[in-house]
Structure 1
Amino acid sequence: MNWLEYAVLFLVAGSVTIALVPAVKRLAVRLDAIDYPSARRVNMLPIPRLGGVAILGGIIAALIVLGLGMTFLGWDNPFAPNDDITPNYVGVFIGILFMFGVGAVDDVVDLSPKVKMLGQIIAACIVAGSGLLLANIHNPIGEGYIEFGWVAYPLTVFYLVAFANIINLIDGLDGLAAGITAISAATILLFAVWTDRPDAAVFSVLLLGACIGFLKDNFYPASIFMGDSGALLLGFSLGIISLFAVARSTLFVSLLVPILAAGVPILDTFFAIVRRKREHRPIDVADKGHIHHRLMRAGFSQRATVLIMWGWTIMLSACAIVITVADNLVRIPIFLVAAGVTVYAIVKLRLLGDALRHHFNPRTKPNRSEKNADGINDNVQDKA
């Protein structure tokens, strides 16, 4: 496919997403899928969620245009069989729809954490069963690949569920999750085009277009939230396109592309897990120790906080591209600079310090009643 065709798909995904938002708002109001102001949320007014419906609509519309282009305009088929990897793309999309459905139901009826996790695992199993697997990595010290065998199935399920949740957990400010997903998708798009992965490139364009379109109404001050339907959809799709992009790559460092592109939400999720474990709280219980909360406590506005985290993601994404295409003379110092900035941010924001100090001071541990009082599930705009 050429850049004009990619541009058409991008515009369709974005414009349809924008067009669907008003109808989705009305639907959310009718279903009472509303985020009401609370002590744990940053929104001051009731805001409809369920924005994932508009995002999915934009993606589906672009896929329809892609099919029409292949049928009537002679566009190349990005899903044509190849020697590297040919999953059942229909099965992959069914998995995406299932993950979206889990999030959409949770937006409306508030599923229990166990039921929601079970649904996510089923969605990931559908994708893994369709043949899209993290089956091997290029041998960094020799020729060929290191094959994972049967371990590829649980590894892929874990990978996809993890990606779904890192976006879900970071969805705490207006435009934050959509912007980070857009930047990550753009990064994978560049890598996919460079390595001739048309399926990854097309999915990246669709995700990028839908996210940009959604930001029109989701950036501060947001008039709609994406909800779990959107956050799980975006995170899961990001994990899928990253698998498309790095599958059978001849470059070991290509594995760093999706990891660095999603580096900010990965770090945020990692420290959230460590923090909650050390504070003897369930992982699914909300707190206000996330990166965006710490930036706002440092005096940054909501808009500035989002832009800072976007900028951090852009830096890591640029690093991912450079270390993939450059030689070691350039690759190593670029990586060290990005790592240095990230470590500085971790230290400056005290991402781990509070949890460690709390862990070693029994007087600050929550009692049982405090745990029960705070035992609420993470929700949209409350992914802290």
Structure 2
Amino acid sequence: MDAVDYPSKRRVNKRPVPRMGGVAMAAGIAVALLVEVAGEYFLGWAGFYITDDGGTVNHAGVMCGLLFIVCVGAMDDVYSLKPGVKFGGQLLGATIIATSGLLLSSIANPLGRGFIEFGWMSYPITVLYLVCFMNVINLIDGLDGLAAGITDIAAFFLFLIAYGRGMEETAMLSIVLLGVTLAFLRYNFAPASIFMGDSGSLLLGAMLGVISLMGVMRSPTVIVLAVPLVIAAIPIADTAAAIARRLYHHKPIQQADRKHLHHMLLRKGYGVRKSVVIVYAWTALLGVGAWVMSTSHGVAVWAMILVLLMGSFLILWKLGIFDQVLRHHYHGRHTRQEDKPKWYGRHGR
């Protein structure tokens, strides 16, 4: 089908590598859920699908939405869809999930008692939330094993937090996602023999969004909503920086570049494996912080957020990322040598 990533200036791989590995991950998730359904139906397991006690979520509809998202990604892996078409597919898949009852419909009031109800706005908010998760994983998928590893670590900490709070379905979906990404990393870690493609990155992003929404529906507190955002802070921040960067330079948001965090780590000479492990360790640090936040209250939560922010700033500074950002900024804005700062160097880089 020619679903292959060929070497190019923008790509890291030096040889053709097949993509569309997301189809395999989708199959793994499907098998795990079929086992759960079979156990509930034939063995009397207390569960979520056959023996559900009148929940508001249409699980079959959610799975259809996820399957549609995988199909959109697979089509992009083969045919390289136009950005507008792919974005429309993401919106439609997220809409299917939202209309299946999995909604961010309310959240506990962080400033007082009661809940903040979103009403009809819960539908566009949920769709936007899911689409954002899809794209942050899609954009961070630039090195062998990077997106799969980040999702793996996020799923592990989401499992710990959900299990600790008694959110059984959220914990089950988290451990399924953990197993799928671990299995895929066997073939995706550098040097990768297969890439996940958009079929995989969109699926992983959508799964993280679905799992976090399941958690919010079972425990609609601000901390439950904040936890997945903290764990996924690296791809979220990287995506936000990419959008801001492209808008600043008057370029299309979807236009690819080599200024993501993992590209900067490569330029610092860390290599593919070391760059990926650095991001893994950073994500694990955020995961530990999110887990501590989930067991804390009041001032302790804000103190942990401050610690994570300071720790992340220190990591970026130690890695020399700020220096690279400033160098690229001045390279684009200054033309005369006397306008450049002293640290800029004789050769402009």
Q: TM-score, normalised by structure 2?
A: 0.90
Structure 1 residue 204 displacement after superposition: 1.1
Query: CA separation of 1:362/1:92 partners in 2, compared to 1, >3 Å: closer, same or farther?
Result: farther
State the Cα distance separating 1:205 from its structure 2 match.
1.4
Give the C-alpha shift of residue 113 in structure 1. 0.3
Q: 1:55 to 1:282 in 2, by over 3 A?
A: same
Q: How does 1:103-182 map to 2 (within 5 A)?
A: 103-182=73-152
Work out the percentage of aligned pairs sharing the same amino acid.
47
The answer to whether the aligner puts 1:349 opposite 2:312 as a matched pair is no
- The one-letter amino acid paired with 1:236 is A
Matches within 5 A, 1:349-368: 349-350=321-322, 353=326, 357=330, 361=333
Question: What amino acid does structure 2 have at the position aligned with 1:192?
Answer: A
TM-score normalized by the length of structure 1: 0.82
> How far has the Cα of 1:245 moved from its partner?
0.9
Note if 1:298 corresponds to 2:263. no
Distance 1:196 1:82, change over 3 A: farther
Task: Determine whether 1:247 maps to 2:248.
Answer: no
Give the drift of 1:354: 5.7
Matched, 1:187 2:148: no
Indicate if the aligned counterparts of 1:174 and 1:219 stay in contact, CA closer than 8 A.
yes
Which structure is higher in RCO with an 8 Å CA cutoff and minimum separation 6? 1
Of 4, 13, 36, 2:6 maps to 36
Deviations 1:257-284 (A, max 9, x none): 1101111100110111111111211111
Contact preservation (8 Å) 2:212, 2:228: yes
State whether residues 279 and 355 of structure 1, in contact with CA within 8 Å, keep that contact through their aligned partners in structure 2: no
Match in the other structure for 2:188: 218
Q: Distance in 2 between the 1:339 and 1:346 partners?
A: 11
Matches of 2:326 and 2:219 in 1, distance apart?
A: 38
Q: Secondary structure at the match of 1:137?
A: strand
Structure 1: tracts of 5 or more residues without a match: 1-30, 365-384
CA contact (8 A) 2:62 2:96 kept: yes
SS of the residue corresponding to residue 338 of structure 1 reads helix
**Aligned pairs, how many?**
332
Q: What residue in structure 2 maps to residue 209 of structure 1?
A: 179
SS across alignment from 2:116: strand
Q: CA deviation at 1:71?
A: 2.6
Of the three residues 19, 24, 41, the one matched with 1:49 is 19
Inter-partner Cα distance in structure 2 for 1:56 and 1:164: 15
Question: Shift in Å at residue 150 of structure 1?
Answer: 1.0
SS of 1:246's equivalent? Answer: helix
Whether the 8 Å contact between 1:36 and 1:45 is mirrored in structure 2 is yes
CA distance in 2, matches of 1:207, 1:119: 22
Distance 1:355 1:247 in 2: 44
